[in-house]
Amino acid sequence: MKIRFPIILKIALLGLLVTSLGSGVALTISTLNQNKRSEETLIENIDKSLYSVDYMFEDGDNSQDLQASLKNVKEYIKTVYSNPDIKEKTLKDFSSFEEYETYFQERDSWVFPPPGAMIASPAFLEFRKDFREMSHILLEAHLSSGARAAYLCYEENDGDKTRLIFMDDSRITYTGRKPGSFYHLPGSHYDLTPQDTIINEKNELYQGYKIDSYLTRFIELSETLEDGTEVPVASLFLEYDRKEIQKRSMDILFSELIILGSVMVVVIMLYMLIAYFTITKNLRKLTVATDSISHELKQANNITPKKLEFRSRDEIASLASSFEVMEEEIVNYVNIIKKEAKENERREAELEVASSIQLSALPANSYLDENVELKAFIKPAKVVGGDFYDYFYHGDKFFLMIADVSGKGVPAALFMMKAKQLLKAKITSETSFRKAVAEVNNELALNNESSLFVTSFIARIDFEKEEICYINAGHEKPYILHNGEVIKVDGTANFVLGGMEDIEFEEETMKFEKGDTLLLFTDGLNESINSKQEEFSYERVENTFKESKDLSLEEKIHLFQQRLQEFVQNEEQFDDITIVTLKREDSTLSLRYRNKDYQIIEDCVNKFQEAFPNLEEEKKSKVGIALDELLNNIISYDESEQLEIDITFTKLQDDVKVTISYNGQDFNPFSQDKEAKILSGDEDLDSLNPGGYGVFLVQTLSKSQAYTYIKDHATITLIF
């Protein structure tokens, strides 16, 4: 996973937030304080300057001269100011500063010379000295106090209206007269409004006005008359801008914040560096270790546990040590699993080989000769099973056996091989059936430490006598299908093979006639259980066998598989299942035709008649007619690339069974009822269009007809 928000960053951000909030608040408080302090200091300075000018004016060495000068100036201003032409004029009345200056100059009212340029009206020249003196005092007050401006003015009261008439402004001396710079020209005025409140009334001497954001503090300069009374001549105003003080404070605040911020960034970086070495680095180590483990797991390489070395003793170190333990566990576990998987693979391969050896030890699952037809089915529950069957001729007798070794898997399979070989060896060497089985039992019982045993049904079939002689050693009782009826092969229940030495085995004999079918099976069949824990049972075996009476051996086994599957559904097979069917046939004729030719009909009928010479003529004819009709139809309707017809004739006691199997379309010729095509003789001969008698004749002449369609092959079975 890609890390987008590292812990270290989160911690740093949190730290940054907290510290910046704290220091921001602290800084703001201190700035506000400073703001207040600096204003107080300024006011103090201003008041000092005001006082010093006042002292100079009233009690200083030159106070007489100063007072005289000021009075002269005031008189001059008054004279100029009382000129109605200019009395009401202020800078606001002019579009430009030059126009304003020119206006005053033209009217001989120019009261102040620009520095270095002594252009003045003649009236002014007389007061030049006085003016300069005042201007210097004013500038000094301005500069020494730190105020933004100092000016002199006198008041004129007109009713309740107070007008300030300016006499001089320190800024004129300080900056010179320049366009764009603002100052109160001598002779100009300002009318106090109710908003211009007097502030700082606690000290009579230092009163002030608040005009907009500008604050002024002023002192009255007075002339002391001979009688000691003081007559105010003018007021000295010192003005400062409160906003400017604030702005200055804010500038300081900002610069301080910037410094603080940079310091904090450095601190945070240091912090991150420390955190990296103490926390993140270790976490990264852990991550790298986990990644490499999972990578190795994926690659299925040899996995080696990673040692994580931590010097710290914190939670991460503890997590790391837990991780190391877990890692070791995983590695061990994975290695065990790998080993086991390999082992299992090997074992499975061995079992598969064993299974194929075992299956190859069994005879073919299909056998046919002139006496018998056999079909077998075996399905081991585990890869190797304990079930087996065997069949062979010994002399003119046919031996058939089925067996089930107790237990499953390899031990059962080995025991089974032994039992199978012993049975064949003993039976083929001994003349007595009973003795052979008894010897097999003794051999198996000898040194049988794992106490395995075999249940077995061994049959010796005598074709001449039409009977079977059998020994049932604790095995499931087989069934014989005789003329459509199922008979249980009952008799003495002998002890199992290999269970105990020196046992006598009883043999039984039973009729096994031509056309009879013997069904052998192991308990895997009747004891197969479904999800309700019900067994397939002998009853179902018997019923299925009966149901299959008209089917071929292959179809019988197919039916058993089908019925069993329907019964068990998805339940797991827990035991080997073996089914062996054996049919006693006397005369069987099998014919194979691969050519599409009507001549095969004649060939087939001829061969049939030769094979069954003792058959009644009528039956022969009926079979012949049926063959002619059916083969004619099969050939006529054939659409296959290569027609395959297999015909089997079987003698069943008095009957003949004819099986015609072909690779045609799935069409049951007997699906329709026998149609009433029987002519009555009333038909109009001309309109009579004969046809369709074929199948009708087959149905009428045969005793029974059956049709099945399995794996693209249609099979018609007829009994005559």
User: Which residue's CB is nearer to another protein, number 630 or number 714?
Assistant: 630
Q: Which of 122, 180, 395, 691 binds another protein (CB under 8 A)?
A: 691
**Whose CA is closest to 472, among 517, 521, 430, 516?**
521
Q: Which of 197, 429, 700, 704 binds another protein (CB under 8 A)?
A: 700
Q: Looking at this protein, which amino acid is placed at residue 474?
A: G
Q: Which of 414, 611, 694, 719 binds another protein (CB under 8 A)?
A: 694
CB of 400 to another protein, least distance (A): 40
User: Which residue's CB is nearer to another protein, number 82 or number 599?
Assistant: 599
Rounded to whole angstroms, how far apart are CA atoms 48 and 141?
Answer: 9
Residue 63 phi/psi, 5° resolution? -60, -35
The two beta strands, 454-462 and 577-584, are: unpaired
Residue with tokens 């049904």: 457
CA end-to-end span of the chain, whole Å? 82
The b/e string for 111-137 (b: 16+ C-beta within 10 A; e otherwise) is bbbeeeeeebbeebeebeebbebbbeb
Q: Which stretch binds another protein (CB under 8 A): 438-446, 506-514, 537-545, 679-687?
A: 679-687
CB of 618 to another protein, least distance (A): 5
Q: Which of 622, 648, 663, 708 binds another protein (CB under 8 A)?
A: 622
CB of 602 to another protein, least distance (A): 6
Q: Which of 618, 654, 675, 712 binds another protein (CB under 8 A)?
A: 618
Q: Which stretch binds another protein (CB under 8 A): 151-159, 522-530, 642-650, 671-679?
A: 671-679
Q: Does 693 bind another protein (CB under 8 A)?
A: yes
User: Which residue's CB is nearer to another protein, number 549 or number 620?
Assistant: 620
Rounded to whole angstroms, how far apart are CA atoms 99 and 610?
Answer: 154
Q: Does 681 bind another protein (CB under 8 A)?
A: yes
Distance of CA 142 to the CA centre of its chain: 80
User: Which residue's CB is nearer to another protein, number 422 or number 630?
Assistant: 630
Three-class DSSP category at 436: helix
- Residues between 629 and 668 that touch another protein (CB under 8 A): 629, 632
Q: Which of 592, 642, 683, 711 binds another protein (CB under 8 A)?
A: 683
Query: DSSP E strands: which ranges in 184-226?
Result: 189-191, 197-199, 207-211, 214-224
In this structure, which long-range contacts are made by residues 672-678, counting pairs with CB atoms below 8 Å and at least 24 apart in sequence?
Answer: 674/699, 674/700
CB of 656 to another protein, least distance (A): 15
Q: Tell me the residue length of the chain.
A: 720
Q: Which stretch binds another protein (CB under 8 A): 164-172, 455-463, 618-626, 642-650?
A: 618-626
Q: Which of 418, 628, 634, 650 binds another protein (CB under 8 A)?
A: 628
- Residues between 592 and 611 that touch another protein (CB under 8 A): 598-599, 601-602, 605
Q: Which stretch binds another protein (CB under 8 A): 38-46, 149-157, 319-327, 684-692?
A: 684-692
Q: Which of 290, 621, 655, 707 binds another protein (CB under 8 A)?
A: 621
What DSSP assignment string belongs to 676-719? -----S-S-TTT-----HHHHHHHHHSSEEEEEEETTEEEEEEE
Residue 502 phi/psi, 5° resolution? 55, 60
Any residues with CB less than 8 A from the CB of 719 and at least 6 apart, and which?
Answer: 652, 655, 656, 657, 658, 702, 703, 704
Q: Does 117 bind another protein (CB under 8 A)?
A: no
Burial class for 86, CB neighbours closer than 10 Å (0-12, 13-18, 19+): middle
User: Which residue's CB is nearer to another protein, number 117 or number 676?
Assistant: 676
Residue with tokens 């032994």: 418
User: Which residue's CB is nearer to another protein, number 196 or number 602?
Assistant: 602
Q: Which of 701, 714, 716, 718 binds another protein (CB under 8 A)?
A: 701
Rounded to whole angstroms, how far apart are CA atoms 337 and 696?
Answer: 71
User: Which residue's CB is nearer to another protein, number 1 or number 679?
Assistant: 679
User: Which residue's CB is nearer to another protein, number 193 or number 704?
Assistant: 704
Q: Which stretch binds another protein (CB under 8 A): 289-297, 382-390, 471-479, 683-691?
A: 683-691
Q: Which stretch binds another protein (CB under 8 A): 15-23, 49-57, 251-259, 624-632?
A: 624-632
CB of 610 to another protein, least distance (A): 14
What DSSP assignment string belongs to 156-179? EEETTEEEEEEEEEHHHHHH-S-T
Contact between residue 120 and residue 142 where contact means Cβ atoms under 8 Å apart: no
User: Which residue's CB is nearer to another protein, number 587 or number 621?
Assistant: 621
Rounded to whole angstroms, how far apart are CA atoms 101 and 110?
Answer: 8
Q: Which of 94, 538, 696, 707 binds another protein (CB under 8 A)?
A: 696
The residue ranges that bind another protein (CB under 8 A) are 598-599, 601-602, 605, 617-618, 621-622, 624-625, 628-629, 632, 677-683, 685-686, 688, 690-691, 693-694, 696-697, 700-701
